[in-house]
Amino acid sequence: MSQFRQTAPALKNQYDDDRVLRSYLERVLPADVLSEIHDSLSEMGRLAGGELYELQLADRLNEPTLTQWDAWGNRIDKIELTPLWRVAERIAAEHGVVATAYEQRHGSLSRVHQGALAYLFTPSTDIYSCPLAMTDGAARTLLNSGNQALIDRAVPHLITRDPKEFWTAGQWMTELTGGSDVGLSETLAKQEPGSNTFRLYGRKWFTSAIASQMALTLARPEGNPPGGRGLALFYLETRDEHGSPRNIQINRLKDKLGTRKVPTAELTLDGTPAQLVKGPVEGVRNIAPLLNITRLWNGISAVALMRRGLALSADYASKRVAFGAPLSEKPLHVDTLATLQAEFEGAFHLAFYVAELTGRSETREISDDDALLLRLLTPIMKLTTGKQAVMVASEVLESFGGAGYVEDTGLPVLLRDSQVLPIWEGTTNVLALDTLRALQSDGDPRQGLRRFEAAVMSCVANVSDDAVRVVRAALGHAASWLADAQGDAVEAGARRFSLTLGRTMELALLIKQAQWSLDHKAINSVRRFASLGVDVIF
C-alpha cells in the first residue's frame, strides 16, 4: 500500500488573504472608513474561510425539497431549505449583507462595503446571493416607487439585521413564453370590484428563492394592451398568516445543472392577491431598478466565485507535487494561474466600479454623465464578468487535474454555479442589445461612446505604458465599428462590441489600480490582461 497522502486545499481568512480586495479598498475608501469597516470584513472573511466553508462541504449532498401534500390530503406546497441555507440566512441578516447598503453609514461608499461583504459571503453559501440580490433589488424598487404603504409594509423587513424579522424577496418575470421577451407575458391581473387589490392568474416558469415571503412580479391588468408597456408591476406576499400559500401552487422544483441549493420553482397563480407598485402600466420599466441591483450582484458573485476557485487552486499548487517539485514551482502551471488571476482582477475592478457608481446614484451624488455611464456599464459589466466566471471556473477545475472533476472535493459546483451567471438576469445577447440601447440614452450613440471613452481615459491619464496603447486601440476600433456598422450588422456584432467595451474598461481600471499601488503583482496582471485579447471586434 502506498504511504502517500495528498493534503487537501484549504482556505485562510478570506479577507486577510485577499490582496486584490484589500488593495482596492485602500484606494477607494478614506482611511477612517476602512478602519471602521475592517472588523466587519475580517469577521466575514473568517466565517467564509472557516465555519461556513466547512458547513458548505458538509451540506454538499443536501438539496431543498418540496412537499406538495400533507398526510391528510391538503395541498401545502412546503419548501424545506438545506442546513447551509438556514445558517446563511441568519448570517446574512446579522451581518447586514443587504442592510449595509441602506443604513448608508458611509454614504455612497456603503455600496462598496456591502459589495465586499457580499463578495466574501457568496462563495461559501451556495448562491444564497440569489435571494439576497432580489431582496436588495426589491427594497430599492419599492423605495424608488414612492408607494408609501408598500414601503412601510415591506422595506423594514428587507433591510433589517434581525433574523426573526428578515424577509427575502422573489422576482417573478419569466414565463413559458420567454424570459428575454417578457412583453409576451400572459399572466392576467383582475381588479377586485371596489378595491385596490388585484388577483393574478397565470404561470411563472422560473421563480428562484420560492421560500421568500414576498415577490415583485409582472402581470397584465385586464384590458391593457399587449407588449411590455401593458404589463404592470405588482407586489404580493406569498403566504397567509397560517403559512399557507396565497392561491399559489408550486408545481415542481426545477432539476438544474447548478445552483442546486436555490429552490427554483414553476408556479401557477390562481387568484393570488397583489397590489400595484406604481401604476397600471409600464411594469417592465418600473422593475428596472431591481434588475440593476441584481445585475450588480451577478457581477459581484462572478468575481467572488472566480476568487474562491483561485484561492483553492493557489493553495493546492503549493501542496501537490509533480515531476519533483510542487506545482507552484512549475513555470507553466504558474503561468496558467497568472492568466486566470488577471481575468479575475479585471472583472473585480469592473464589478466594484459599478458598485461605486450605484452607491453615488442612490445617494444622489452622481453627475448626469456618470448616471448615463452607470446605465451603460451595468449590462456591460454583467455580461463581461459572467463570461469570465465560466472560463475561469473551467480552468480552475483543470488546475486540480482529476480531483477538479470529482464531486466530493467540492470543486465541480464552482463550474456548475458559474454557468448560471451569463443566463439569468439577462443573457449575454440580451444585455449586448441593451448596451446598444444604453448608448442611445440621450439620442446619439456616438455621444454615448464618447462619454464611455472619457471615463476610460480618465483611468489611464498620465500613465505611459504599452497597456495604455491597447486601451486606445480598442476604443478606436469600437468607435469606427459603431460608425460603420449598418442594418443587421449592428445587432449581429453587439456581443463582440459590448465585450470589447467591458474588457477595455477592465484594463483601464487595472491600470489605474496598478498605478496607484505600484504593486508588482498588480502590474503583472495589467501586462497579462493587455496581451489576452481586449478588442474582440472583427
Ligand X SMILES: Cc1cc2nc3c(=O)[nH]c(=O)nc-3n(C[C@H](O)[C@H](O)[C@H](O)COP(=O)(O)OP(=O)(O)OC[C@H]3O[C@@H](n4cnc5c(N)ncnc54)[C@H](O)[C@@H]3O)c2cc1C
Residue closer to ligand X, measured from CB, 310 or 433: 433
Contact residues toward ligand X (CB under 6 A) are: 171-174, 178-180, 206-208, 256, 259, 264, 420, 423-424, 427, 429-430, 433
Taking the complex as a whole, the smallest distance from the CB of residue 20 to ligand X amounts, in Å, to 28
Cα–Cα distance between 414 and 313 in angstroms, integer? 12
Min dist. Cβ of residue 480 to ligand X (A): 23
What 186-194 contacts at long range (C-beta under 8 Å, 24+ apart), as own/partner pairs, is: 186/220, 187/217, 187/218, 187/219, 187/220, 187/269, 188/219, 188/220, 188/222, 189/219, 189/220, 189/221, 189/222, 189/232, 189/234, 189/274, 190/221, 190/222, 191/221, 191/222
Query: In 3-state terms, what secondary structure has residue 292?
Result: helix
**Nearest-approach distance from CB 206 to ligand X, in angstroms:** 3
If the CB atoms of residues 49 and 137 are measured against ligand X, the closer one turns out to be: 137
- Nearest-approach distance from CB 390 to ligand X, in angstroms: 13
User: Exposure string (b/e) for 230-259, b if CB count within 10 Å is 16 or more?
Assistant: bbbbbbbbbeeeeeebbbbbbeebbeeebb
Report phi then psi at 78, rounded to 5: -90, 135
| Closer residue to ligand X (CB): 180 or 440 | 180
Under 8 Å CB-to-CB from 31, ≥6 apart: which residues? Answer: none
Pick between residue 49 and residue 131 the one whose CB is nearest to ligand X.
131
CB of 268 to ligand X, least distance (A): 15
Q: Which is nearer to ligand X, 215 or 281 (CB)?
A: 215
Residue nearest to ligand X (CB): 179
Between 76 and 490, CB nearer to ligand X: 490
Give the residue with the Cβ less far from ligand X, 354 or 431.
431
- Ramachandran category for residue 32: left, alpha or beta (phi over 0 → left; psi -120 to 50 → alpha): alpha
- We find the least distance from the C-beta atom of residue 419 to ligand X, in angstroms, to be 9
Separation of alpha carbons 137 and 92, rounded Å: 15
Q: How many CA atoms lie within 13 A of 370 on its CB side?
A: 15
Smallest gap, in angstroms, from Cβ of residue 28 to ligand X?
A: 31
Is 506 in a helix, a strand, or coil?
helix
Q: What residues form DSSP beta bridges with 189? A: 200, 221
